[in-house]
Structure 1
Amino acid sequence: MPLTLSPVRPAADEQAGRDAPVACTLHGDEQAECAGQWRELLGQAVSREEIADGLRLTFPSGPGLAGRLAALAAAEQDCCAFFAFGFELAANALVLTVRAPQSAAVLLADLFAATA
C-alpha cells in the first residue's frame, strides 16, 4: 500500500498560540534573566538558518542540552505564547525551530539574535 503525505496543518493549540497577542508578560529583571538564559544556550548552536517565519537552530545532540532547551521553551510559552517551538532529534543533532507571527519579528530577532 503506498504512503500518501499531505500538508501538515498546525494543531489547534499551536494555532491558538500563534494567534495569541504579541506581548511578553515578563518585566525588567525577569526579561533580562530569560534573555540571558537563551543567550547561554544559543551560544552552543552549531548552525542557524532563517526560515520564512522564524529560525532553525542546530545544536549538538545530548539529553542534557535537549532538556534545558525544552524547559526554556516551555517557560517561554508561559510569558510569550505567540512563539511556537519545534524540536527534532537526530543521531548527531538537535534542531530547534522557533516561529513567530510577522508582528513579532522584532521580538524574535532580539531574543534569538546571533551570539558572538
Structure 2
Amino acid sequence: MACALGGSELEGRTQEWRQLVGQAATRDEIPDGLRLTFPPTAELAGRVAALAAAEQGCCAFFDITLHLTPAALELAVCAPEAAAPLLADLFGATE
C-alpha cells in the first residue's frame, strides 16, 4: 500500500497533517490506528474535514471517521497493518 501522491505533493500533505496533529488536545491509540481530539471550532472542523477528504483521494486504504459534538471534534484514523508505516509518518502513530 502506498500513497498516490509523490514528491512535493506528498511532502506538502505530510506537513499539513503534522501541523494539524500538533493542534490536537488529546491523542489516543485505538485498534489499528489512533484518535485525535480537537477543540470544536468551526475553522478547525472545516480544516480537519477538508484534509481528511483530500487524504481519502490519495490513500483510500485509510478508514477516517470524524465525530463532532459540542465538546470536541474527534478524528479517528485506522489503517491495515501494511500501511502502519504511513500512518506513523503522517499522524505519529506507533507501529
If the length of structure 1 is used for normalisation, what is the TM-score? 0.77
Q: Distance in 2 between matches of 1:88 and 1:74?
A: 14
- Residue of structure 1 equivalent to 2:3: 24
| Amino acid paired to 2:59 | C
| Percent identity of paired positions between Structure 1 and Structure 2 | 59
What is the identity, as a one-letter code, of the residue corresponding to 2:29?
Answer: E
Runs of at least 4 residues off by over 2 Å: none
Matched ranges for 1:13-92 at <5 A: 22-92=1-71
Q: Match for residue 103 of structure 1?
A: 82
Q: Over aligned residues, Cα RMSD in angstroms?
A: 1.0
Work out which of the two has the higher radius of gyration on C-alpha atoms and give 1 or 2: 1
Alignment deviations for residues 13-72 of structure 1 (CA, whole Å, 9 cap, x no partner): xxxxxxxxx221111111110011111111110100011111000001111101111100
Q: Name the residue aligned to 1:10.
A: none
- Structure 1 distance, partners of 2:42, 2:64, is 17
**Aligned-partner SS, 2:66:** strand
